[in-house]
Chains A and B, each alone.
Chain A
Amino acid sequence: MIGKILKKLDDKFLKGEPRTGELFAVAALFDTPDQIIHAAEKVSGAGYKKFDVLTPYPVHGMDGAMNLKPTGIGWVGLIAGMSGTFLAFLMIWWMVGINYPNIFGGKPYFNLPASIPIMFELTVLLSALTLVGSLIALFMKLPANANPLMDTDFVKRVTSDKFGIYIEAKDPKFKLEEVRTMFEGLGSTSVSNIHEAEYDLGDTKNPLLNGKFIGALLGTSVAVVGITYFVLNVLLFLPPFDWMHRQPKVLPQTESKFFKDGFSMRKPVEGTVARGFMPYEFKGMPDSLVVITPNPLPVTQKVLDLGKKRYDSYCSPCHGFYGKGDSRLRGQFPVPPTLHSVKVTNWKDANIYHVITNGQNTMPSYASSISRDDRWAIIHYLRVLQRSANAPDSDLETK
C-alpha cells in the first residue's frame, strides 16, 4: 500500500519528460567564480537585459558585474517597522486609555513607559514578517515551481557546485547562434537550450471550476466549521475542560432540596430595611390615613418620557394605553374602571401613589416592580393622559 503510493510519487515527481515547447533560454555552466563574474560582465556589457546568473551561494561583486540596481527592500522593513511601533501605541492607548480605562498601581490609564516593551516587540514582529513576506512574494516572485528552468540539468548543477548564466529568448538582442558562440568563447563547460514545458490543462480551461478543486474547497470548509464547532461547543464542556463549570453551589432561580421551601434563593429576615431606604410609611393603611405629600419630581419632558415608558409596561395591560380601562387582556382579569373618572382626576398624586404601592381590590402592589421615582413619573404621565382626554376649549385657543 505504502509502496504503491511511493511509486506513484516517484513517477509524478522524478520522471522528467523532454520539454518540447518554445525555446525559453540558452544557458551556460561555468566552473569558477572568476569565470562567471567575467561572463556576467560580458553579457551585461553586450546590452542583454533578460538574463540572469545562477549561483549556489551569493558571489561577491556579482551585482556590479550584472549591472543591477541596489535593492530597495530595506525601505519596506523601515516602513513596516515604524507602522508596528505606531499601531502598537495606538492599540494600547485605545484599549486601556479609551475603551476600558482601569487603574493599575495608581498610574495613569495609558502609561507610556510600560507600553514601550510591547511597542518594541510589535515593531520587530511587523518589520520581520513584512520583510520576509514581501521578499518572497514581491521581490523574488516565489513560489515559482512552474519556471521552465526547474528540474533541468542546468539548475541541478547551479544549486550545487556550478555557476550558471542564461539569456532568455525574449530578449530583443537574442540570436541563438550568437549567444551560443559567446558562451562557448567565454569558456563554458556546457551550453544548453532550455525549452518551455507544454502543460496538459485537462478538460476545463478554468481551474477554479475544476470538480476536484471545488470538492476540496467544500471539504475543507466543512471540516473547519465542524472542528471549530466541536471544540468550542462540545469539547470544552467535557471533562477535564469543564473545570469550574461544575461547582458545588446553588444557582439563583433553581430548586434546592436543602431548604424547606424548596427555593435556592433566600428572602431577607422579616423586617430587614435596606441601607438608606425608608419603608413606605402608609403600607397597608386605608386611603384616608395617607398624609398628602406633593410629587417630588418636576414635570419635564424627560420625566414624562420615563413615565410613559413605565406606564406602557406596567399599567397599560389592564388600564389601557390611554387609561380608559380598555384592557388588552380580553377578560382574563376583571377590567378596572377608567382613570378619567372624577374620583381619580380629583385624587391628589399621593393617593395614586398609595394605590400603586399598596394595591387596591384585585390590583396587586407594584412596590417591588416599579421603583419609587418611576411611580411618581407614572403619575405625572397619568395627569397628561387625563388632561388630554378632558381638554378644555381654552387649550385650543391659546395655541
Chain B
Amino acid sequence: MSLDATYTREIPLVEGKTSFREIDDVIARPTETKPNIKWFIAIGISSTALLIGAVCLGLTFWYGVGLWGNNQPVGWAFDIINFVFWIGIGHAGTLISAILFLFRQKWRTGIARFAEGMTIFAVMTAGIFPAIHTGRPWLDGYLFPYPNQHGLWVNFTSPLLWDVFAVSTYFTVSFVFWFIGLIPDFATLRDRTTSGIKKAIYTALSLGWRGSNRHWQHYERVYLILAGLSTPLVLSVHTIVSFDFAVSVIPGWHTTIFPPYFVAGAIFSGFGMVSTVLIIVRKVFDMEHIITVNTLEKMNKILLATGTIVGYAYAMEFFIAWYSGNPIEQFTFINRAFGPYSWAYWIMFSCNVFFPQLFWFKKIRRSIPITFVLVLLVNVGMWFERYVIIVTSLTRDYLPSSWGMYFPTMYDFGILLGSFGMFFTLVLLFAKTMPVVAMSEIKAVTEGAQPSHKHKHE
C-alpha cells in the first residue's frame, strides 16, 4: 500500500492532545483573571472612539442632520454606506455558524462563537445608521406597522420596509442562536467560578443547564433547525439590502446582479473582519492552539473565493453596461472608473480584487502578518465599495443640471469612527466576560471525544 491515508486525513482541529479541563482553563481564563495591560489599552482606544462618535451623534440630534455632508443630490451618504458595510460584516458570522455547520465543516468550531458574537455586534452597529438616517430617530417606531392615531399603515411594497423586517429578524434570530449556543458554556463557567457575583450572573444565564442528555437530544435538533433557518435568512438579508438600491431607477443601481453581488461582498467583508479580530484575539488571549493557523488558512481560501466573485461582479457590471446599449448606464460606469471619484474606485478594486489574489500562494495563506495586512485591506476595500456605489451613482445620474459633488464633514467621520469604537468595545467586553470559543463544541471534536463503540464487538 503505497497510498497513504494521511493525505486525506483531517488535520486535528485542536493542536496537541488537550484534556477537557485544559480546554476549559484556556477558554475561561479571560473571564476568570484580571485583564492584562494590552486589553486595557485596546478598550481605552475603542471606547475613546465610541465617545467621539457619541458626541458627534449627540450634536446631530441637537442640531439636525444638516451637520452631515448629505446634500442634494446625495441624500444617501455615510449613513447608508456605514449601514451596508456593517450589516455585511455580520454575514460572515452567520455563514460560519450556520452554513458551515450544515456542511459539517468541523473547523468552524474554533471560531463560530466569536463570529456569531461579531454578527450581533455588527448588526447592532449597523442598526444605528438607518435609525439616525431618518433624521428624528425618536420617531422610528413609525417604521413598524402598529395601529396608530393616524389610521395609517406602512408601505409594504417598499424595499426600505422589507429592510426593517429583514434586519430586525436577522438580529433577533442571530441573538437567540448565539444565546442557545452559550447556555452549556455558561453552565461550565457557573460551576467553575469562585466569585459570588459571577456565580449569580452565570446561574441566571445558564438557566440551570446540567448537560442532561434528555436536553441535548432536543437541543441538538433545535440547533440544526436554527442553522437551517439562518441560512436562507442571511442570504435574504443582504438580498433585501441590495433591493434598496436595485428597486430604484438610479443608473448603476438598477441591475439584477445586485443580490448575489451584495451577498458575496458581504461574506467577503465579513470574513475580512472576522480574520482581523481573530488574529488579535488569539494573540491577546493565548489561544493559538485552538484558533489554529489551519483555520485561518481555510478562511483565507474563502476570502480568495468570495473576492474573486466580487471581482467577477465588477467586471460583469461593466460588460452589462456596454451590452445594454444604454448610454446613461455606460456613462455611469466610465464615470466610476475615470470620473471625479476614480480614486475611490481604484482603492476598492485593488483592495478587493488584486490583493486577495495573493492568497493563491500557500505561504501567504499561512503567514499571519501578511494575512493581517491583506484582511485590513479587504475591510478598507469593502467600505469603499459601498462608497463608490452610493456616491458615484447619486452625484451624476440623469440630468447634468442636477449633478453635484459630495464632501463628508467631520461629523460624518466622527460617527464612522464611533461605529468602529462601538463594535470593538462590544467585542472586547464580550471577550472578557463570555467564552469566546464554544467549549462544549470544541470538546466534542477533540480526539477521543466520541465513543469508539468498541464494546459492541466484545
Contact = CB atoms under 8 A, between A and B. Distances in A.
| A and B together in one complex | yes
Interface string B193-219: 011110110010001111111111111
Contacts of B215: 139-140, 142
Nearest to A150: B208
Interface string A135-174: 1100110111111011000011011110010000000000
Interface size of B as a range: 35 or more
Among A128, A132, A144, max chain B CB count under 10 A is at A128
B214 A68 contact: yes
B166 interface: yes
Interface in B151-181: 151-153, 155-159, 161-162, 165-166, 169, 172-173, 176-177, 179-180
B99 interface: no
A13 B195 CA distance: 8
B71 interface: no
B145 interface: yes
A66 B184 contact: no
B166 A117 contact: yes
A136 B217 contact: no
Interface string A59-82: 111110010100101100100010
A136 B184 CA distance: 13
B165 A54 contact: no
Contacts of A100: 151-153
Interface size of A as a range: 35 or more
Given A95-B145, A156-B191, A159-B187, A33 B210 contact: no
B21 A161 contact: yes
Contacts of B33: none
Interface string B18-32: 011100100000000
A338 B455 CA distance: 114
B19 to A, nearest CB: 7
A121 B169 contact: yes
Contacts of A124: 169, 173, 229-230, 232-233
A28 interface: no
A34 B188 contact: no
B214 A135 contact: no
A56 B440 contact: yes
Given A118-B165, A132-B180, A147 B156 contact: no
A14 B199 contact: yes
A155 B162 CA distance: 46
Interface in A263-283: none
Interface in A164-198: 164
Given A156-B191, A241-B138, A135 B219 contact: yes
Interface stretch (B46-54, B220-228, B299-307, B376-384): B220-228
Interface string B319-352: 0000000000000000000000000000000000
A57 interface: yes
A6 B233 contact: no
A196 to B, nearest CB: 15
9 contacts: A10-B197, A13-B203, A34-B454, A34-B455, A71-B217, A100-B151, A146-B208, A155-B211, A159-B210
Interface of A: 6-14, 32-34, 36-38, 40, 52-63, 66, 68, 71, 73-74, 77, 81, 91-92, 95-96, 99-100, 102, 104-105, 107, 111, 114-115, 117-118, 120-122, 124-125, 127-129, 131-132, 135-136, 139-140, 142-147, 149-150, 155-156, 158-161, 164, 236, 239-241, 243-244
Interchain residue pairs A-B with the least CB separation, the first 7: A9-B196, A10-B196, A161-B20, A144-B208, A57-B444, A95-B153, A143-B207
